[in-house]
Copies of this chain bind each other. A is one copy, B any other.
């Protein structure tokens, strides 16, 4: 708990991961006083935010204590129970995004229903409660196998998503006991993402469309802008993002993950918060996604999403076997005086997202190679 009286507006962030941590940088600039609700003081954001409260985001009492004195409340993750958010709002707290909007990022079936209703491009999908439902879906229309089974709630970074090539694989997904839905497998050419912001006043802003590169369901690289994307498809992606934000009443950031296919764009997932596909904006845009989100939740005018370089590439750092990342700073910083490092202050564990690097420049191949060089060395110690 802080031992000073706030001078600026207080924004409470439920959750204390790296998204809350990186929000502290623009908060310091704007004079916005961040408060986080953390599980423990070792968490990523708790290390850099003085007004850290320890509590359970699933407990309404903890949330109420946390909310007291906040000028606005927002989220580091999507796991706060919908009814608790409604309760806070009913008590007069300003919460962005609202429970009604956030539900679409919490419940994939609700999201698909709504997107289908507003005409956003989606794969064929259905709620399922048995393997028989899945077989019926696969046998209907042009769906066929494989199909994609998804946990309706709680999945992230590839968890809660199963690509099933057979009845047997589908049966296995049901053993988890969670509510599932099925989607047609989308034969995509690549994955794109569009990040938009919408303020309570209704101002909307779209960042340039990016390409995201995934490995095992985890994003490893983001390229801004998406190389070779034609102007019409780029504009369409931005229109989809802004339309969804508007129709769903999103306040703050909305990240829309998209599949690019031979037949056009298809919406994959939504997130209503700063997103991994937007980390490049910290150096790569005049207004970072973290600043934009704070401005939106405080209902301040939004900043320009203009890029600061022609090409920006972000590479995620995933934990390896060696817990000491710092001894590898020497090589990557000496090798490339323009590389930007971001470390989240998390214990290094194999496969865990522990940071990212960003390179800016004008030549795509060169900028990608710089980001890759730094990420590979930081993760493995290898010289490439």
Interface residues of A (CB under 8 A from B): 2-5, 7-9, 21-22, 24-25, 27-31, 33, 41-42, 46-50, 52, 282-283, 286-287, 295, 300-304, 306, 308-309, 325-326, 329-330, 333-334, 337-338, 340-347, 355, 360
Contacts and interface: CB of A to CB of B under 8 A. Distances in A.
Given A48-B50, A301-B330, A7 B41 contact: no
Dominant secondary structure of chain A at its interface with chain B: loop
Contact of A286 (B303, B338, B342): B338
B48 A28 contact: yes
Counted per complex, copies of this chain come to 2
A228 B287 CA distance: 30
Contacts of A302: 337
A287 to B, nearest CB: 8
Interface core residue of A5, A31, A295 (most chain B CB under 10 Å): A31
Contact of A295 (B49, B333, B343): B333
Contacts of A325: 31
A46 B4 contact: yes
A117 B345 CA distance: 46
B25 A29 contact: yes
B304 A341 contact: no
A4 B330 contact: no
A338 B305 CA distance: 9
